[in-house]
Structure 1
Amino acid sequence: METTNPQRQPDGWMLLLCAWLLSLISTIAVLFIGEIMGQAPCVLCWFQRAFMFPLVLVLGVACCISDTGVWRYALPLAVMGWLIAFYHNLLYFGVIPESLKPCGAGPSCSGADMTIFSSVPLPLLSLGVFSFLILLLAIIRRRFSA
């Protein structure tokens, strides 16, 4: 009788691949916006990047070895990024007063040039990406946790 490691599930590979591709595309997109287009990120964008960039490596390795137990490491990163993105959106949409804004000195994400398709602000896009990553990691946890 062969026993398999519950952390290595080949059928979880597609979910891992989706999560990795989402984090990879997000990372490439923000690097393109910053390095190619010359749009400097605000302080909160930098903090969100600090939680997105490691996800590319963590999820990439997990995808290569089909390690569905990666949710233990990736989920806290995604949740912290989501919390910062949520706070950023509250600031962006004026729910939180400007006096609580840590982006006082330096670039701001509230300009019209910080939108995609002339209507979707980058902070909202970041919140959506982190939300989708959390959803994928929660599905992986629910389906493949021992």
Structure 2
Amino acid sequence: MEETHKPSDKSGCLLYGAWFVSLIATLGSLYFSEIRGFIPCDLCWFQRIFMYPLAFILGIATFQNDWKIARYVLPLSIIGGSISVMHYLEQKVPGFGGIRPCVSGVPCSAEYINWWGFISIPFLALVAFLLISVAMLILVVKKRAN
């Protein structure tokens, strides 16, 4: 029998919240590239590769009440978040750009947005990956406690 939680269980908010964050991140990246015309760099594409499936995986898990989804979501969100950290450092830390992951097209150090001096697109992606990872870790801890 498949393990599900009762609808009144507050951990359901974590699953819905993670799904909502992944949807906002996916739609936000599409807004920046398709409506605002910002051309994604190589690292942006890698972050998208790890974020876009999360919108589908978490959506399906939410409607199926699949609380075991964390084992599939966590690797994607942690790897995507790591890429976001590297990208953010490439933009904001002088001298860190020596890795040169972007060899063609738009340079990864380019900043299309710079709100309040620290919020850039990789920062927004990092926040999304962190929120999803934290929600999944809380679900894992709650499941083990039961």
Match of 2:5 in 1: 9
In 2, Cα distance between the equivalents of 1:105 and 1:119?
25
**Partner SS, residue 128 of structure 1:** helix
> TM (normalized to structure 1)?
0.87
Give the SS at the match of 2:112: helix
Residues 95 and 143 (structure 1), Cα distance of their counterparts in 2 relative to 1, 3 Å cut: farther
5+ residue gaps, structure 2? none
Q: CA deviation at 1:113?
A: 2.9
Measured at CA, do residues 143 and 95 of structure 1 come closer, stay the same or move farther in structure 2, by a change above 3 Å?
Answer: farther
The 5 Å alignment of 1:46-125 reads 46-94=45-93, 97-116=96-115, 120-125=119-124
The 8 Å contact of residues 8 and 69 in structure 1, kept in 2 or not, is answered as no
Please report the RMSD computed on the Cα atoms of aligned residues, expressed in angstroms: 2.0
Please identify, of 118-127 and 27-36, the stretch whose mean Cα deviation from structure 2 is larger: 118-127
Quote how far apart the aligned CAs of 1:115 are. Answer: 3.3
For 1:135 and 1:142, how far apart are their aligned partners in 2? 10
Cα distance between partner residues in 2 of 1:91 and 1:112: 10
Contact 1:82 1:131 in 2 (8 A): yes
Distance 1:75 1:51, change over 3 A: same
2:126 equivalent in structure 1: 127
Inter-partner Cα distance in structure 2 for 1:45 and 1:117: 21
Counterpart amino acid of residue 115 in structure 1: N
TM score, norm. by length of structure 2:
0.87
Gaps in structure 1 of 5+ consecutive residues: none
Q: Which amino acid aligns with 1:32?
A: Y
Compared with structure 1, are the counterparts of its residues 110 and 45 closer, same or farther at alpha carbon in structure 2 (3 Å cutoff)? Answer: same
Figure out how many residues of one structure are paired with residues of the other and give that number: 142
